[in-house]
Amino acid sequence: MAEQIRVLLVDDHSLVRRGFRRMLEDEPDMAVVGEASDGEEAIKLARKLKPQVVVMDCALPKMNGLDATRQILWDLPETAVLMLSMHSESTWVRQAIDAGAKGYILKNAMNLELGSAVRRVAAGETVFDPQVESPTTLKGERSSGLTPRELEVLRMIVDGKSNKEIATTLDLSANTVAVHRANIMNALGIHKTAELVVYAIRAGLVNVR
């Protein structure tokens, strides 16, 4: 028998993890080697268990799935991350792609074929739910996501820092930070800082500690 695909499940709801575990355990070529309930635990378990595939929920406590994905892939570049989300918006999909995810599927999809998706990302393919925009659609579409630098600036805006404070921290000019701020708002279609902060927190683009 061929070696089984080692899978780490990451979701903050135990019932969801149990459901996904059952789906994967029905696949003879897969083994669920661990479960994590938040991003920080996911990183620790990934380092310890070295799974081939991490099935990662986007919205997690302590550290969101996007940040956890970046760290896991930094430590284990051969691992494939399959992102699961309730969100079909292009901004979420783009963030997942930018974080390094090999796939993005909707948790509430009636025809969710988790085993097939895991098998495909383990083989090096990319898998995107037909209900979300594909990476080819998003490629080069400026409004669909934020650059790593813009995410950095956004985190500091949410922390309440002024353009001058952000500029000092990132060793940029205040004018450059102002441009980043404007680009972020344009990309997300938001025009007020208060609305930007609320959106960033709700969408899981930043961690609130």
pLDDT for position 207: 65
Burial bucket for residue 194 (CB in 10 Å: 0-12, 13-18, 19+): exposed
The answer to whether residues 34 and 8 touch, using CB atoms and an 8 Å cutoff, is yes
Alpha carbons 139 and 154: distance in angstroms, whole number:
22
Q: How many CA atoms lie within 13 A of 41 on its CB side?
A: 15
Asked if residues 154 and 182 have their Cβ atoms less than 8 Å apart, the reply is no
Please report which confidence band the pLDDT of residue 185 belongs to, taking 50, 70 and 90 as the band edges.
confident
In terms of pLDDT, which residue wins out, 52 or 99? 52
Strands of the chain (E only): list them.
Answer: 5-10, 30-36, 53-57, 80-85, 103-106, 127-128
Over residues 34-51, the pLDDT tens digits come to 999 999 999 999 999 999
Spatial separation of the C-alpha atoms in residues 167 and 161, rounded to whole Å = 10
Q: Is residue 183 over pLDDT 50?
A: yes
Per the model's pLDDT, the better-predicted residue between 109 and 206 turns out to be 206
Percent of the chain with pLDDT over 90: 30
Establish how many alpha carbons lie within 13 A of residue 153's alpha carbon, considering only the half-sphere containing its beta carbon: 26
> Residue 131: pLDDT above 60?
yes
Q: Could you give all domains of the chain from N- to C-terminal order, each with its CATH number? A: 5-138 (3.40.50.2300), 146-202 (1.10.10.10)
Q: Please tell me the distance from the alpha carbon of residue 102 to that of residue 104, in angstroms, as a whole number.
A: 7
Query: For the whole prediction, is pTM greater than 0.95?
Result: no
pLDDT classification of 137: cutoffs 50, 70, 90: very low
* The dihedral formed by the CA atoms of 149, 153, 158 and 164, expressed in degrees to the nearest 10: 170
Is pLDDT of 194 > 50? yes
The predicted pLDDT at position 191 comes to 79
How many residues does the structure list for the chain? 209
* pLDDT at site 146: 73
Q: Which residues contact 149 (CB under 8 A, 6 or more apart)?
A: 170, 180
Nearest to 38 by CA among 30, 46, 26: 46
pLDDT of res. 141: 39
pLDDT score recorded for residue 142: 36
| Residue 196 pLDDT > 90 | no
